[in-house]
Amino acid sequence: MNTNMHAFSKILIANRGEIAVRVMRTARAMGYRTVAVYSSADADAEHVRQADQAVWIGESLPAQSYLNIAAIIEAARTSGAQAVHPGYGFLAENAAFAQACRDAGLIFIGPSPEAIRAMGDKAGAKRLMQAAGVPCIPGYQGEDQSQPTLAAEAARIGWPVMIKATAGGGGRGMRLVTSAEAFADLLQSAQSEALNAFGDATVILERAIVAPRHIEIQVFADRHGNAIHLGERDCSVQRRHQKVIEESPSPAVSAELRERMGATAVAAAKAIAYEGAGTLEFLLDAEGQYWFMEMNTRLQVEHPVTEAVTGLDLVELQLRVAAGEPLPLTQQDVRMRGHAIEVRLCAEDPQQGFMPQSGTLAAWRPSPALRTEHALRDRAEVPAFYDSMIAKLVSHGRTRDEARQRLIAGLQDTVALGIATNQQFLQRALSHPVFAEGAATTAFIAAHADALLAPDTAAEDHAALLAALLLQLGGRGWPSALAHTLPNALRFALNGKVHAARVTPQGAGRFDVALDAHAPARIKLLSLPGDGAVRFSCNGVSEQAMSVRESAAHLWFHFRGRAFELQDLTHVAVPRAGAAGGDGLLRASMNGRVIALLAAEGDTVAAGQPLVTLEAMKMEHVHCAPRAGRVAALHVAVGAQVAARHVVAEIADA
């Protein structure tokens, strides 16, 4: 970091999406000019539109753009930026990037390359923390990576044991092992995944703390020797080691425990001469014991909950520290008020194993009652190349329950149409009694998956009645008083489930709708202002929805806090019974990139045999043969980009 006070006036944000927009907002308020960088996939992205200048840095794959250090340094040079903010993800914790900024005479808005390097290696970080007196989980972080040594060390630590890639992140290269018999296979799996993801198969072993809390402490330090903490965040609600809900303060942390954990975190920061924003992550057990996991040497995704309870702008503090200023407050100045909760809205389909989604966002209306961090707009593209998180929704209240209720209501009012999201799943999690009681641990989602993913039959039946009304109306608007009153037979798919309906107009905007051979419901159209909104009553109870039409036969609507996709099948031939997979066409389940072909043309395959692997949003998805037969054609090659529902392979009779 540069030692000259206020040595920059223009900041390049080496990131994309909501965090780039978030950094720009504070930078602009402080009088700084901003520079965006973008890949080919992001040419029209919101962070590009909001910056003062923007520089193209490469093609869509992260390795060709947002991970291309040379291209980003050159973008800073050509735009005249004197400082670089890395955001989070991508190069934010890359010591080589921080060093490249330093070598180019740029101010890196973050810690030194030495601090990033020290904490980036899990084994080395653990040794440093032990030397600083920070409690660490019993484990092994030695250089001997042979299978016999690791197996012996695991047995010494005691089961269950967690295998962790030292260069890891995002849950990759991690395996929970519950017995000696399972160790060898899971070790090989973890090492292989780590090598593929990070280019380094080295692992450490730790005793697995069963169903702990995941508690992290936000620290801030300057180059003048000052360091403080800003309380804790509880990030226990996770799925596959990825955070889903974050809150501050934690329901499990007392004032006394907060003081102890905060002092530990500050001591750790001082031990490595840390500068800027950082987070120490701990596991907390039911007895109140806590152990260091790792340090994130950057701003966190969930920093808004800390901002909400402290009233501080963490990006502003980052910029001031990077400019050489001392921290403008002491530990005694830090005050925590009320409670804040954040959820991560992701483009993924919980009903399909949380498969990542990409495509065009048909409509976006964030709730005005929440702080929503996003880089979205109507018709925004959600590319397949990057993380699936598209927005963060944050509530604040005097109490935890007030914040929770506000977030549930705000989530229900947020309109995100065109791509499947985890919107309903988040509402279910916030509403679950275990979360409401403040008792959720890292085991919460796995333990309650059935309840969190259960169908809501009543809401879906009402949505199907609304779907029939929308199809009956078509794009014509309010029905004419002279319209016929003959019954209209409809057939449609709602979120993939096929329904049959019989709609009988009764005049004056009233309809009798018989759904799937049930008794008719009386539907009355109350208002249709023309902006996609619709108000209607069903059997005397009025409700409202919002719809957006993609084509004559395809529309989306928001109803009761969730999105529904409606496809008119009235004029589509009904498939024969038992014809599932019968056409032999294998279609891509999402937009993605082909990374492996697992069969060749002419091969004989069994039903369900893996044929093609797609990569989307940092995850791999294997596509299997829809039926037994012979691979008649492969319509893709490795490296090709494919759109959702594109035919990738054809299976013919053997």
* Number of other CB atoms surrounding residue 132 within 10 Å: 15
Q: How far apart are CA 633 and CA 169, in angstroms?
A: 38
Q: Which contacts (CB < 8 Å, 24+ apart) does range 330-337 have?
A: 330/226, 330/228, 331/228, 331/229, 331/266, 334/228, 334/229, 334/230, 334/231, 334/310, 335/310, 335/311, 336/231, 336/248, 336/249, 336/309, 336/310, 337/309, 337/310, 337/311
Q: How far apart are CA 401 and CA 431, in angstroms?
A: 10
| Dihedral sign from CA coordinates of 26, 30, 31, 37 | negative
Strand order in the sheet with 172-177: 139-140, 203-207, 161-169, 172-177
Is there a contact between 20 and 87 (Cβ–Cβ < 8 Å)?
yes
Distance of CA 43 to the CA centre of its chain: 21
Active site residues: 298
Sequence-ordered strand ranges (E) for 386-540: 389-397, 415-417, 488-494, 497-507, 510-515, 521-527, 533-538
Q: How far apart are CA 210 and CA 212, in angstroms?
A: 6
Can the peptide bond before residue 160 be classed as cis, meaning omega within 30 degrees of 0? yes
**Residue 311: which residues within 8 A CB-CB, separation 6 or more?**
335, 337
Closest Cα partner for 34 from 104, 100, 87? 87
Is there a contact between 277 and 197 (Cβ–Cβ < 8 Å)?
no
**Residue 103: which residues within 8 A CB-CB, separation 6 or more?**
none
Q: How far apart are CA 292 and CA 134, in angstroms?
A: 7
